[in-house]
Copies of this chain bind each other. A is one copy, B any other.
Amino acid sequence: MTKETLISSLHKSNIVSLTSATQIAEQFDYKSISKNQFLLAAGKVSDEYLFLEKGCMRTFAHDTAGNEVTTNFCLPGQVAFEVSSFFNRTRSKENIQALTDCEGWFITYEQLNNLFHTLPEFREFGRSVLVRGFTDLKTRMLSMITETAEERYEILLQTKPEIFQLAPLKYIASYLGITDTSLSRIRKELLKK
C-alpha cells in the first residue's frame, strides 16, 4: 500500500505542486475500515480527515422519528469527514459508515491545522474540498426543489452509477428524499420505457 494515489490526487487538483504533495502525504497515515464499521459515530468529534482510496462510505443522520437518513455517499478520491464537527470541535450529529471494506489515508484536526499554517498550497486544497462539498450540496438542494423524484433518480444514476452497485436501495432512497417503496415504483416505471 503506497501513497502514490494520495500524492497524485493532491497534485492533479492543480493546486498542489508535486513536491508539496509528497510533503503533505508524509503526514497521512494508513487506515482500513471493514464493511459496516464506523469511521465516525454520532456523539463523537470528527477527528479524521480521511482521503478515501478504495471502497464506499455513507453519511447518515436520524430524523425526529428515529429513522436513518442517508445524507451523503463518499467514493474514492473524496475526503470523508463531518465538516461541522471537525472544524468546530463539536459532537457530530451524523455517522459515517463503510458500505464496503475501505482503505484510505488520514490526518487529524491538529495535523491538518499544522499543514494549513505551514503550507499555503494545502490551505488552498482544503478550501477547494470545502467549496466542492458546499457546491455539490447546493446543486442537490436545487434539484430537490425543482425536480421530481424520478428525475433525481435518473440524474444520480448517470452521475454516480457506482453507488447502485454498492449501496442498498433504501439508502439511496432516503438520499434522494423518498421512501424505498417509492423508489421501487419509480424503477418499475422506468423499466417500461
Chain A positions near chain B (C-beta within 8 angstroms): 61, 63-65, 67, 69, 71, 83-84, 87-88, 116-117, 120, 123, 127-128, 130-131, 133-135, 137-138, 140-142, 144-147, 174, 177
List the B side residues contacting A145 at CB < 8 Å: 63, 69, 144, 174, 177
Q: Are A127 and B87 in contact (CB under 8 A)?
A: yes
Q: Copies per complex? A: 2
A–B Cβ pairs within 8 angstroms, 8 of them? A63-B145, A69-B142, A69-B145, A84-B134, A127-B130, A130-B134, A134-B137, A140-B141
Closest 4 CB pairs of A and B: A63-B146, A84-B135, A145-B177, A134-B134
List the B side residues contacting A128 at CB < 8 Å: 87
CA distance A83 to B132 in the complex (A): 9
In angstroms, how far is the closest chain B Cβ from the Cβ of A6? 23
Q: Are B141 and A141 in contact (CB under 8 A)?
A: yes
Q: Are B137 and A141 in contact (CB under 8 A)?
A: yes
List the B side residues contacting A133 at CB < 8 Å: 134
List the B side residues contacting A64 at CB < 8 Å: 146
Given A71-B142, A146-B69, A131 contacting B130 (CB threshold 8 A): yes
List the B side residues contacting A61 at CB < 8 Å: 142
In angstroms, how far is the closest chain B Cβ from the Cβ of A113? 10
CA distance A88 to B132 in the complex (A): 10
Which partner residue on chain B sits nearest A84 by CB separation? B135
CA distance A84 to B117 in the complex (A): 23
CA distance A87 to B174 in the complex (A): 31
In angstroms, how far is the closest chain B Cβ from the Cβ of A183? 13
